[in-house]
Amino acid sequence: MTARDVAARKPEVSEVDTREQLLIAVNDLIIERGLIDVSFSDIAQRSGVNSALIKYYFGNKAGLLMALLERAILPSLKQMELLLKMPDSPQDKLRKHIMGIVNTYHRYPYVNRLMHYLLAEEGDKYESRIAEELVKPVARAQEIILQEGEKKGVFRPVDPMLFYYHVIGACDHFSHGRFSLKHAFGVHSITDDLKRDYVAYLSDSVLNGILRKE
């Protein structure tokens, strides 16, 4: 084989690349349209990959969406594990945790909708997996930080369940509630400055509500 032959050959697309192309395509379509239910043909057209490969890699649409949900959340869960091991104060850990959740929901504004869609359509198959892999780790990490803060005398006793819904709900609606941003406040996009302001506001609000008063 000559050097010209080598140069003329197209590099083979690995299975990992093809799988990622499909996930990127469905991610982009869901964000653009604001809808979870996108067709195989649209995904194939956007990704440039034959629609038959969706079934090959993911089994069905639910399998594709579950893989998309894991792609969105699992990296932030790994960062959260590292956060728990840091020597930072409980207050700083909560600020970083809230910033991480806001960033995740901003980048993947469909996370909660996708989770509820899968539970409604394929709950028997995915309920346990979603709970064990994606929901419980977040709730448990929050509980650990709250307990650490209480033990150090900086947080008052806080119900971790109520805390979970407070923080997750506030982070989700900021990204998913763009209709109200536009029509109630005239804000057409979430800029980095707005996101930083929201992280600071939410962190201060949460901490002011749980700090032990002198």
Q: pTM of the predicted model, to two decimals?
A: 0.86
Q: What is the residue type of 63?
A: G
Among 9, 34, 59, which residue terminates a domain?
59
Q: Specify the pLDDT at position 9.
A: 40
Answer whether residue 15 is part of any domain.
yes
Cα–Cα distances (Å) from 29 to 45, 50, 78, in that order, read 11, 17, 26
Residues 96 and 52 in one domain: no
Do 82 and 13 lie in one domain? The reply is no
Are residue 166 and residue 204 in the same domain, yes or no? Answer: yes
* CA 157 centroid distance within chain: 28
Alpha-carbon distances of 87 from 84, 93, 140, 142, rounded to whole Å: 8, 9, 18, 16
| Residue-level pLDDT at 73 | 96
- For 137-158, the pLDDT digits (tens) are 999 999 999 999 999 999 999 9
73-93 in b/e form (b: 16+ CB < 10 A) is beebbeebeebeeeeeebbeb
Low-confidence ranges of the chain (pLDDT < 50): 1-13
CA distance 51 to 47: 9
For 213, phi then psi, to 5°, come to -80, 140
Return d(Cα 68, Cα 23) in angstroms, integer. Answer: 6
Please identify which residue in the block is written with the tokens 């996708």.
114
143/166 same-domain check = yes
Instruction: Supply the CATH number for residue 15's domain.
Output: 1.10.10.60
* CA proximity to 144, closest of 89, 84, 204: 84
Is the residue at 66 inside a domain?
no
State the Rg of the chain over Cα.
21
Same domain, 95 and 183: yes
How high is the pLDDT of residue 2? 42
pLDDT recorded at residue 204: 97
CA distance 144 to 38: 38
Residue 85 and residue 44 in one domain: no
Residues 101 and 177 in one domain: yes
pLDDT score for 7: 37
Domain assignment of residue 29, given as a range: 1-59
3 state DSSP class of 155:
strand
Report the alpha-carbon distance of residue 61 to residue 64 in Å, rounded. 5
Using an 8 Å Cβ cutoff, are 143 and 160 in contact? yes
CB distance 72 to 111 below 8 Å: yes
The pair of structure tokens assigned to 104 is: 């995740």
The answer on 162 and 186 residing in a single domain is yes
Overall number of domains in the chain:
2
Q: Are residues 135 and 183 in the same domain?
A: yes
- Are 198 and 142 within one domain? yes
Residues 25 and 112 in one domain: no
Residues 198, 135 share a domain: yes
